Structure 1
Amino acid sequence: MRNNLPLYLALVLLTQCSKCKNDPRPRDPAAALPPATQTGANTFGCLVNGQPYTPKGNNGTSNLYILYDAGFRGGALGIQTYRIDGNRRQYLSIDMAPVTTTGIYSFARPAGICTANYADTPGVANGCNLIYSDQDVAYRSGQLAITKFDTRNRIVSGTFSFKLLQAGCDTLKVTQGRFDAKL
């Protein structure tokens, strides 16, 4: 028994040390997003159902495209992104009009353009991988906050969050969204 005591102590010590290595602290998914800036940094990020989403990959076009057209519907802002990861392709876009200055714009407003769209392919065959806020959506809410709207230096920045519910599908929750781009 006495001869085995050092062996038992060594085993206890090893098991305690291995617990430390296998006990990672939970990481904040928002830490993977770009910071919210207002410099025209050409960044975009959000959490889609709690998972980080940033533009990634290349299909021959830019994975982040932000356009402002002052002559369309009193000022239309379009944000288009995609993320390619292996066979999975995700697309997220926001269109809002009229946008003429900084402020809060609602996805629930009845007038103008106020859409948020999300696609995830390949997805489930029941149609829940394509959600367009202006088609077949039972519920939508959220806001786009334009925090910098500088037409002289051609910079637009802001934050956003929204929820979309399509009948027969889980609610799509987009939170902690931010973008900063040169137009």
Structure 2
Amino acid sequence: MSLIRSFSSTALLSLLALGACKKKEVYPELRLPEATQSGANTAGAKVDGQVWVPETSLFVGAPLSATYQREGSRRTLRLYFSRVPASESAPLNETSFRFQVADVRSTGRIDLNQVAQPTFPSLTAPYATFKYAKPFPGREFITGPDATGHLTITRLDTVARIVAGTFEFQARETGGTGTVTVTDGRFDMKF
């Protein structure tokens, strides 16, 4: 009888101990979207080998935006993808991509290898950035002569208002020495 009582006490203590442990949140595995050209409003890439896809919580704005507009004699393309999921344990939480291309008229490859001046976006060379918003004040990485890449536009349809393509780049931290490597990038968006 004392063996049963001892076993019951041990089992009860074990259950209580397990119940007191904080359950670790498991985030689902992320997968890159297919590289499409239908205006599916998707994007994704690998950041230093880790899959990144846009995501947002209920209280944050849209995770994707694309604009293609006339600025003087130029047609400027701007792409923005953000990742601000509700879960703090989500991979690459509070990060974003931004692309700025000041004169896009057709499909093709655009090299991201010149000095960018984001404070004068309509006059600057094409560039890409990747930004970590946390921990504050955040870190921003930008393409340039010593951190290059490319953006390839595979569809630019001004009637259906669709822009699609691929990208990859290495970017250097502004005001620092860090780098970020982005591969397997793709986007398919309406503007």
Q: Report the TM-score when normalising by structure 2.
A: 0.69
Paired position in structure 2 for 1:99? 104
Q: Secondary structure at the match of 2:178?
A: coil
Over residues 40-81 of structure 1, what are the superposed CA-to-partner deviations in whole Å (9 max), with x where a residue is unaligned? 111100011111111101343211011111335611111111
Over residues 13-48 of structure 1, what are the superposed CA-to-partner deviations in whole Å (9 max), with x where a residue is unaligned? xxxxxxxxxxxxxxxx9x810000011111100011
Q: Secondary structure at the match of 2:147?
A: strand
Do the aligned partners of residues 62 and 72 (structure 1) sit closer, same or farther apart at CA in structure 2, a change above 3 Å counting?
farther
State the distance in 2 between where 1:98 and 1:73 align. 9
Q: Secondary structure at the match of 2:148?
A: strand
Do the aligned partners of residues 132 and 73 (structure 1) sit closer, same or farther apart at CA in structure 2, a change above 3 Å counting?
farther
Task: Name structure 1 gaps, 5 residues minimum.
Answer: 1-28
CA contact (8 A) 1:48 1:175 kept: yes
Paired position in structure 1 for 2:31? 32
Are residue 148 (structure 1) and residue 158 (structure 2) matched?
Answer: no
Do the aligned partners of residues 143 and 105 (structure 1) sit closer, same or farther apart at CA in structure 2, a change above 3 Å counting?
same
For residues 90-169 of structure 1, what are the structure 2 equivalents within 5 Å?
90-109=95-114, 112-123=124-135, 129-133=139-143, 139-166=146-173, 168-169=176-177
Higher mean C-alpha displacement, 157-166 vs 86-95: 86-95
Structure 1 counterpart of 2:184, from 170, 176, 182: 176
Q: Give the aligned residue type for 2:33.
A: P
Task: Compare the two structures and name the one with the higher strand fraction.
Answer: 1
CA contact (8 A) 1:98 1:112 kept: no
State the distance in 2 between where 1:138 and 1:71 align. 25
CA contact (8 A) 2:169 2:182 kept: yes
State the distance in 1 between where 2:145 and 2:102 align. 22
Q: Report the TM-score when normalising by structure 1.
A: 0.72
Do the aligned partners of residues 138 and 96 (structure 1) sit closer, same or farther apart at CA in structure 2, a change above 3 Å counting?
closer
Q: Secondary structure at the match of 1:139?
A: coil
Give the alignment's Cα RMSD to 1 decimal. Answer: 2.5
